[in-house]
Structure 1
Amino acid sequence: MRIDAIQARRVLVDGDFVPATVSVEHGTIAAIGAYDEAPEGIVLRAPDSAYVVPGNVDTHVHINEPGRTTWEGFRSATEAAALGGATTLVDMPLNSVPPTTTVEHLKLKQEAAADQLMVDVGFWGGAVPGNVADLEPLWDAGVFGFKCFLADSGVEEFPPLDPAQFTEALTEIGRFGGLMIVHAEDARVLAEAPSESSRSYADFVLSRPDEAETAAIRQVLDGARETGARVHILHLSSAKALDLIAAARDEGLPVTVETCPHYLSFSAETIPDGASQFKCCPPIRDSGNREALWQALRDGIIDCIVSDHSPATAEEKNRGDGDLQQAWGGVSGLQVGFSVLAHEARRRAIPLADLSRWMSRNTADLVGLGRKGRIEVGADADFAVYDTGAEFRVEAARLAHRNPITAYDGLRYGGRVVRSVIRGNAIDVDRVDHTFGQQLRRTA
């Protein structure tokens, strides 16, 4: 349904919730007026218990198509996004086959996405050994930046950069003004950590210690200092790195940081042994660490929250029959992340406006999408309607994710996203049946 306006008693405008009527023309916000206006055409009226926020911009999603479409795919991932309030995704360069490390591989991914998108989608490129010459052509072709690993990625077609290769790639990316996004775990620290087979979640956390993150983040910050390149720390899980990051900010280094819903929702001491649906790298740490991450968001040390939706088949998640060293690492949460965190934020007296900023405007600004993540005249008419009057019990089998596996299965939350609007197209809460999405490319 294409709407001409959305009307609600709580619309997030300029950082505050106000009664408003937001008029839409040709998929763009044309005007923001009083709540009691009577616009012509099709008007979407939100329930009185609802909040209208900008559609979330999730810049960390593993869609996996082509090559591993049995793990996820453009149609299932973008449907899940639409149902969960994310109206824009940026797809990671792995775990598709081939990975997005050349312009030719980017074109294959774009061809695979054609006519399948239910939300807007852009693409990251990859920085791997031997592809320095491919980085600027990928940038010119419209990728939003380049992902690299400093330790094993888990898939052989996307190897990590050693220190010399990292500096070489970062120097090149800095030369043309690009952005390097880094899975920051140190290979040496991981190699020295205990990693024997075990079903124990506590043992798994010991195998990915805090020092793996802090050592890698020191390397990334040193690289930014040496080359002047912009760097972004992916999926920060360890609060022990926060002082390093804060000091780098005070120094003026061009560094931004993200964390994820699973690090803000769960704690290691409550995760059952053998529960591979909670396995991710870096790992979910203890409850004190979780609360320190929330505080770092409040303090502006962490900039944004993204899903790091990294799904896999049941066969991959259950590999090793509960041995957490063998199971695939990744949490599936694309469809539920905003609703989960709205509930968690409310428990901590954190304003919904702040959560929305961390998941929409800040992520949009990270990748230069100035028309996304905000409700203002001239922006894309992308909205999420979050209703505190609609309780939510997560049922993995009913999510749009291709594989019915999620760490949130069976949990209840007070409030949920009940509607999304993508460039003026209102999405039915129960099913997405129109491919409204467009492919995005970096333009600046």
Structure 2
Amino acid sequence: MNSIRSTRVIHGGEEHTATVRWDGGVITSIDNGPADLDVGGLVISPGLVDTHVHVNEPGRTEWEGYVSATAAAAAGGTTTIVDMPLNSIPPTVDRAALAVKKKAARNELSVDTGFWGGIVPASNTIAISELIGDGVCGFKVFLADSGVPEFPPVTIDQLKNVLAPLIEGDIPLLVHAEDPDLLRDPSGDPTSHLTHMRSRPPEAETVAIRALVELSRDTGIRTHILHLASRGGVEAVSAARRSGLPISAETCPHYLFFDGEDVPSGATEYKCAPPLRGTDHIEALWRGLDTGVIDMVVSDHSPSPSDVKTPGDFVSAWGGISSLQLRLPIVWTRARERGNRPADLVPWLSQSPARLAGIDNRKGSIEPGADADLVVWDPDASFVVDANNLYHRHPVTPYDGETLFGRIHHTILRGSRILSDSQDMIPGRGLMLTP
């Protein structure tokens, strides 16, 4: 197959009747001629790009791994992921650790995969420069505890000492932005999500973002705020962008979909950090997307075994939500309720993540010269999530039983179908990417 046609091809920000053609896995033209496959009125969007995925391999492969994570990505229309540097052991903080991770990923990928590097207190400019030379897409840091001992947090002063290679190369710095001084020891009913919410107040995010804004103002560092979850955080990012600073931001499907005040008692599958918040924060996030303050929606896919994730205790449970396979339908379900169009999702789910990772010259859009990465989907078809039918390693997700709109029919990676209309998976065609 070298061409596909629809009355709803999203190209240039609008839907068109068109045929997309490719050769050697690269789009060659968009025209109105006949095609090898005509999908009628199904939407054809650029393959999704997810820049916030915790694959956990090697070292915590019992939590997730490249085979299961990239299969879940393909099943959800995602054709490219970028793997986070932590939760794997060793974390990707030096050249040797990146080599170990690439060896683990070799021949295991169903979708194309890039890698983020990490910065910890022991990092230095030599190790960072070597990782840049070896092709990481950027660097992640935590300002607060990461939850795993091998990836400790850094201070703003520690960051200042090692940022020169990133600034020189215009490499993005990705930050988990919560001020550790404003986080509290959980007190109250451990089965209540409100206990978790109170332990990580929204002010912790706002204060951390303001500190990062000043860091960017002082140094020029290109800064990306991870998993934005609060109204104050949106306002802080908005102010920074109005002043012309190189600040970008993401949010995640769960912050747009779930109300933190409605989480059932003991339902620790909803635990994440920052926590889910209330309706005023949810509305602020949607306004941020609609106005361009927030650039993208990525999964922050962070699975774990059920005994770690669902003990019924919000104090001890692992904080991470699994949604890699469901990102498009989750976002579309809420977006359609707000009057958005399928075309509105393309910057959020494809173009902006590709730009962040430095791969937008070949990923994230339907244009001649780009990779023929496509997702074919029905925005009007609904389905009920059955966690046991998801491809990621552990079927624990707060979306189990939810009715979502947006059924995936085909996922095409560099011109080859890796997911067919029958939901058959064709694994093992992914490549490792560098910017």
For normalisation by structure 2, the TM-score amounts to 0.97
- Provide the C-alpha distance between the structure 1 equivalents of 2:167 and 2:8, rounded to a whole number of angstroms: 42
Partner of 1:26: 24
Q: Are 1:190 and 2:188 counterparts?
A: no
Name which of 323, 327, 340 aligns with 1:337. 327
Matched residue type, 1:187: P
Shift of 1:433: 2.8
Partner of 1:401: 392
Shift of 1:241: 1.6
Secondary structure in structure 2 of the residue aligned to 1:390: strand
Shift of 1:202: 1.1
Matched residue type, 1:347: E
Secondary structure in structure 1 of the residue aligned to 2:276: coil
Shift of 1:273: 1.6
- Provide the C-alpha distance between the structure 2 equivalents of 1:197 and 1:135, rounded to a whole number of angstroms: 43
Partner of 2:414: 423
- Provide the C-alpha distance between the structure 1 equivalents of 2:427 and 2:58, rounded to a whole number of angstroms: 21
Gaps of 5+ in 1: none
Partner of 1:140: 133
Name which of 35, 44, 56 aligns with 2:37. 44
Counting matched residue pairs gives: 431
Matched residue type, 2:349: M
Shift of 1:434: 2.8
Partner of 2:208: 216
- Provide the C-alpha distance between the structure 2 equivalents of 1:145 and 1:263, rounded to a whole number of angstroms: 24
- Provide the C-alpha distance between the structure 1 equivalents of 2:382 and 2:169, rounded to a whole number of angstroms: 48
Name which of 10, 13, 19 aligns with 2:11. 13
Name which of 297, 307, 311 aligns with 1:315. 307
- Provide the C-alpha distance between the structure 2 equivalents of 1:169 and 1:394, rounded to a whole number of angstroms: 44
Tell me if the contact between 2:156 and 2:215 (Cα under 8 Å) persists in the aligned partners. Answer: no
Superposed counterparts of 1:88-167, under 5 Å: 88-132=80-124, 133-167=126-160
- Cα deviation code 1:394-421 (max 9, x no counterpart): 1111100100101100111233112110
RMSD (Å), alpha carbons:
1.3
Matched residue type, 2:182: V
Superposed counterparts of 1:222-301, under 5 Å: 222-301=214-293
Tell me if the contact between 1:47 and 1:387 (Cα under 8 Å) persists in the aligned partners. Answer: no
- Provide the C-alpha distance between the structure 2 equivalents of 1:296 and 1:383, rounded to a whole number of angstroms: 26
Shift of 1:269: 2.0
Name which of 2, 7, 24 aligns with 1:4. 2
- Provide the C-alpha distance between the structure 2 equivalents of 1:266 and 1:287, rounded to a whole number of angstroms: 9
Tell me if the contact between 1:279 and 1:324 (Cα under 8 Å) persists in the aligned partners. Answer: yes
% of aligned pairs identical? 46
- Provide the C-alpha distance between the structure 1 equivalents of 2:380 and 2:131, rounded to a whole number of angstroms: 45
For normalisation by structure 1, the TM-score amounts to 0.95
- Provide the C-alpha distance between the structure 2 equivalents of 1:26 and 1:268, rounded to a whole number of angstroms: 47
Q: Are 1:354 and 2:344 counterparts?
A: yes
Gaps of 5+ in 2: none
Are residues 389 and 197 of structure 1, via their aligned partners in 2, closer, same or farther at CA, if it must alter by over 3 Å?
A: closer
